[in-house]
Structure 1
């Protein structure tokens, strides 16, 4: 989620996302991390309480992570294995492997497993995966992730398959083979193939707008009924075979999404372990009051699951602002910010770890370093010295926030005040925020509080959306409006590198290269707390992402 109070996930051509189902992460877990190889326990109805009022099961419009809601009904070419005590692993899903690159990483080939079927018994073929991807380009279907759209040859000019046009850069030489031709080498395409658009869709699936509530399942569950504001009921897809699926256990007989729920009320019921909440979990963060209650209730125990460090929360410095064009002024802000006060305003130690890097924990390629104040309270003397060096006196900056960020904004305001910087706080509603910040020309703000949860565990998904100059404005999330041609070139080189170790070293260097320019102040890597009933097992949150793996949850 990234806008002030939301955590937007990384996208190359961004579309807004608010994760109504919450953000989860790793540390403690109820039950041990399991492998789908054990076949799972079968039976019962799992209830997932969510604050969201509506759901969509169309992969073309989804920004779901590989391990959350849509992964229950729609398989992709690849998926993720998320053990609690090891890095997230890219694994095959529909495909037999995680992709074979050629032509220096500009062509990628995947082979499907034989015998896979949709819920109606029709075969899942390379053509249905191609059609599913092509649908995501249609103007009728918006909101989905767009990595593949900017990577596939001809993608910029393609308008979808509904007028019988097809994308030639996706080849299907036979029913089991897909060949993707990219417009440049790209080392992480195996991860991109785990995003929702890589789910198969039958070509006779009906009108494009109806698929969101009439999907044809390829995963262990199919949609039986759906009522906005009330529920979505998933039941077993009898054509799904656990032996073909490394990512999913398919344990419960059915899964009931209970929509439009009050998180505080649900949290209270689960804390009390009421009979109607024992086989359930809350898909949003435990609200602060209930979090304190759960921590102090010995009957809750390990049913309260707190993640390890996850999404990066940061202060974006508008590099186009006249007041912030001087890099030394921006570096002074690095020293002046009081990260301890910020974390306290968020709820203290349980809310996150102090951040000093841009690549987040749990992502391969991250290197720990600190360019600025090692003390989380800051270094006011160093900040003042830098400001005096630049001659920046009587500095007044406008900090844009959403309505629920007042406490954290005030902590930033007070920290900068120590160095003689005046901060005025301007709350905006979501529409105003979008028009003035993500879609605006940058003239409306100096500072923005935000956060970022990548879509895939790759430094590319951390750094490109926030710092590549192509992501300035137009609804994108380079909120610092940071434009450095050398960094753009370094990002391109790192993302084009196939060897993982070589790519990791390049990304680590890009991380520091960006932060030397100080376009953002890393604040904390947020931790999130979730709660489940006593009947829920294998509620596992891995090192990445900061979410529970819905695909492996079982009932005791």
Structure 2
């Protein structure tokens, strides 16, 4: 389990952020051009430094974003087109379009492009996409995203294809036509079809557990060698046809993942632009000390790419705590929090923009608003007034954090102290945190710091995991333990709306509806910084997600 302060992702998924590389969230405000016209060329070997000791190329178990590691070897029905200065666009990948809804959004049809093949030359068919998706239900394979599992008819009872059973709600009508039957209307299924499980897998792909290191590639690269704790080498898949792929440029001839790396050591090599780091980038964020160094080194220049506003960092208030059941008390905390001090503790302006909404930047349906004033330092007097109205004196709260989050917690503590609220900070190790907060009964904490980066640029992936009452406990991420039947109904209604403009208006309304109840305080939309060598071109972080697009990086 990753730190609770790192961005979480995944509707109904109890797993952490996984890129397959150990890299965690960022979003951009800069970087190179988003096309190969920027000067990148075909050829060469790109090195990606990772702090992880291993990787998985199995789409059934992956939470990899559509633009990161798994996307190099595995195509999906749909894909993402990212840009540093425009919203991320849903585009076709294996399919000819982004899906056609019918039956008011309960049925979705996709048609595959003709002539697509795996690395061995066998055909990619509707049946191989169906089988790949069915594998994700198997109890032998765990850890993947669950959006499709809760949407497909019969998914709650299906246990995968390894015993010979198939899921009838995934219909391979012919070689190229797939029809998905959902248990309710769902407007953003085109985005769901870009998640890892929608990659094709041949039915004779071997033992399920071995597929993580020996996948059959549908993307521009195939796994040539895999050494856990050391190196993974991808080589060009000669059967990949660039003319069928809008999402990937297939620039480098090969890509090497250097595993189990020390991010500080790698960052130093990249800052110095050493010969073995010139055609490379660091998958994880630049550590704080090296970030300061890189900012102050003129030789680094635009090789340091800092994202625009991305994941939402927030202070969750346990709405089931006796001390926080009154919305006036929770609203007082909205005003008492010093976001300025919090951002300073996180590293200053480069760490993020101040947050006032729940839907994060770069996602359709987001509207800018501010319910609780525009002063980042807060309004302690307003907070005191609200506490007085609520008849509350000597409010004492327990703030649970992980052990590496003391500075940010102290910033929250000092802000609330100005309003006469006493905060006791309780650091916990990872296992204790998990047991007490996402998996616990909520009795042990009043406040907790969290962060959220959705898997797809849909407001549903932004709001439902954090605020739907079904996401309380059980390892899920409604850390505010917020339960409001009207909000549950509004979330369901918005996600069921197929018309994009109508859905966007509903999402904007439910965003504000939730925040009026003050289940959490939006703190910042985090920014993150990445380093690459001088030989790396087209290193782009779009408006969403807050990660570089691995699929379009070139060398030159």
TM-score (norm 2): 0.98
SS in 2 for 1:309: coil
**Aligned to 1:29, which of 9, 31, 35?**
31
Structure 1 residue 4, shift from structure 2 partner: 2.8
Q: CA deviation at 1:296?
A: 1.0
**Cα-to-partner distance string for 1:2-48 (whole Å, 9 max, x where unaligned):** 85322111323432335512323211113x11179x99721110000
Residues 349-398 of structure 1: CA deviation (Å, up to 9, x unaligned): 00000000000011111100000031000000010011111112111111
Unaligned runs of 5+ in 1: none
The reply on whether 1:489 has 2:513 as its aligned counterpart is: no
- For residues 439 and 149 of structure 2, the distance between their equivalents in structure 1, rounded to whole angstroms, comes to 20
1:203 alignment counterpart:
203
- 2: CA distance between counterparts of 1:41 and 1:109? 37
Deviations 1:307-336 (A, max 9, x none): 000000000000011110011100000000
Alignment of 1:429 with 2:436, yes or no, is: no
- Paired residue secondary structure (2:313): strand
Deviation larger for 421-430 or 240-249: 421-430
Q: Tell me if the contact between 1:109 and 1:179 (Cα under 8 Å) persists in the aligned partners.
A: yes
Matched residues in 2 for 1:356 and 1:432: separation?
A: 30
**Separation in structure 2 between the aligned mates of residue 289 and residue 40 of structure 1, nearest angstrom:** 30
Offset of 1:448 from its aligned partner?
A: 0.7
Structure 2: which 5+ runs fail to align?
Answer: none
- Alignment-derived partner of residue 345 in structure 2: 345
Alpha-carbon contact 2:285-2:529 (below 8 Å) kept: yes
Q: Is the 8 A contact 2:26 2:526 kept in 1?
A: no
The reply on whether 1:363 has 2:342 as its aligned counterpart is: no
Question: Match for residue 273 of structure 1?
Answer: 273
Question: Contact between 1:23 and 1:283, CA under 8 Å: does it hold in 2?
Answer: no
2:402 touches 2:433 (CA, 8 Å); kept in 1?
Answer: yes
**Any residues of structure 2 matched to 1:48-447 within 5 Å, and which?**
48-447=48-447
Partner of 1:480: 480
CA contact (8 A) 2:10 2:465 kept: yes
**Contact 2:266–2:282, Cα closer than 8 Å, also in 1:** yes
CA RMSD of aligned residues (A): 1.3
| Equivalent pair of 2:7/2:24 in contact (CA under 8 Å) | no
Residue 514 (structure 2) aligns with: 514
Instruction: Give the whole-Å Cα distance in 2 for the aligned partners of 1:373 and 1:332.
Output: 12
Partners in 1 of 2:391 and 2:16 — Cα distance?
Answer: 39
**2:226 and 2:173 mapped to 1: Cα distance?**
38
Residues 511-533 of structure 1: CA distance to partner in whole angstroms, max 9, x if unpaired? 00000000000000000011100
Distance apart, 1:484 and its partner CA: 0.3
Work out whether residues 139 and 159 of structure 1, in 8 Å CA contact, stay in contact via their aligned partners in 2: yes
Q: Distance in 1 between matches of 2:12 and 2:230?
A: 33
Q: Is the 8 A contact 1:13 1:471 kept in 2?
A: no
Worse overlay, 19-28 or 306-315 = 19-28
CA distance in 2, matches of 1:227, 1:239: 24
Q: Which residue of 2 aligns with 1:5?
A: 5
Q: Is the 8 A contact 2:311 2:546 kept in 1?
A: yes
**Cα offset for 1:234?**
0.5
Distance (Å, rounded) in 2 between the aligned partners of 1:429 and 1:130: 41
The question of whether the paired residues in 1 share the 8 Å contact of 2:106 and 2:186 is answered with: yes
Q: Could you say if the C-alpha distance between residues 108 and 18 of structure 1 is closer, same or farther in structure 2, counting changes exceeding 3 Å?
A: closer
SS at match of 1:185: coil
**Hey, what's the Cα distance between the residues in 2 that align with 1:40 and 1:191?**
29
Q: Contact 2:309–2:526 at 8 Å: present in 1 too?
A: yes
Q: Distance in 2 between matches of 1:523 and 1:18?
A: 24
What SS does structure 2 have at the residue aligned with 1:225? strand
Deviations 1:170-196 (A, max 9, x none): 001101000000000000000000000
SS at match of 1:81: strand
Provide the residue aligned with 2:16 in structure 1.
16
Q: Partners in 2 of 1:475 and 1:439 — Cα distance?
A: 4
Say whether the 8 Å CA contact 1:81–1:88 is kept in structure 2.
Answer: yes
Q: Is the 8 A contact 2:364 2:457 kept in 1?
A: yes
Q: Distance in 1 between matches of 2:314 and 2:23?
A: 22
Distance 2:402 2:121 in 1: 48
Q: Is the 8 A contact 1:10 1:452 kept in 2?
A: no
Measure the CA separation in 2 of the matches of 1:257 and 1:43.
17
Distance 1:447 1:210 in 2: 42
**Equivalent position of 2:540 in the other structure:** 540
Q: How many Å separate the matches in 2 of 1:401 and 1:218?
A: 42
Whole-angstrom distance in 1 between the partners of 2:163 and 2:18: 32
Q: Which moved more, 1:66-75 or 1:228-237?
A: 228-237
- Summarize deviations over 1:257-283 as a string: whole Å, max 9, x none: 011111111111001000000000011
**Is the CA contact (8 Å cut-off) linking 1:5 and 1:404 kept in structure 2?**
no
- Check conservation: 2:303, 2:532, Cα contact below 8 A: yes
* Cα separation, 2, equivalents of 1:18 and 1:100: 30
More displaced, 38-47 or 90-99? 38-47
1:23-77 superposed Cα distances (whole Å, 9 cap, x missing partner): 23211113x11179x9972111000001111101100000010000000000000
CA distance, structure 2, for counterparts of residue 281 and residue 13 of structure 1 = 29
| Cα distance in 2 between the residues matched to 1:289 and 1:549 | 25
Shift of 1:212: 0.5
SS of the residue corresponding to residue 400 of structure 1 reads strand
Provide the C-alpha distance between the structure 2 equivalents of 1:18 and 1:64, rounded to a whole number of angstroms: 6
In 1: Cα distance, 2:25 partner to 2:47 partner: 17
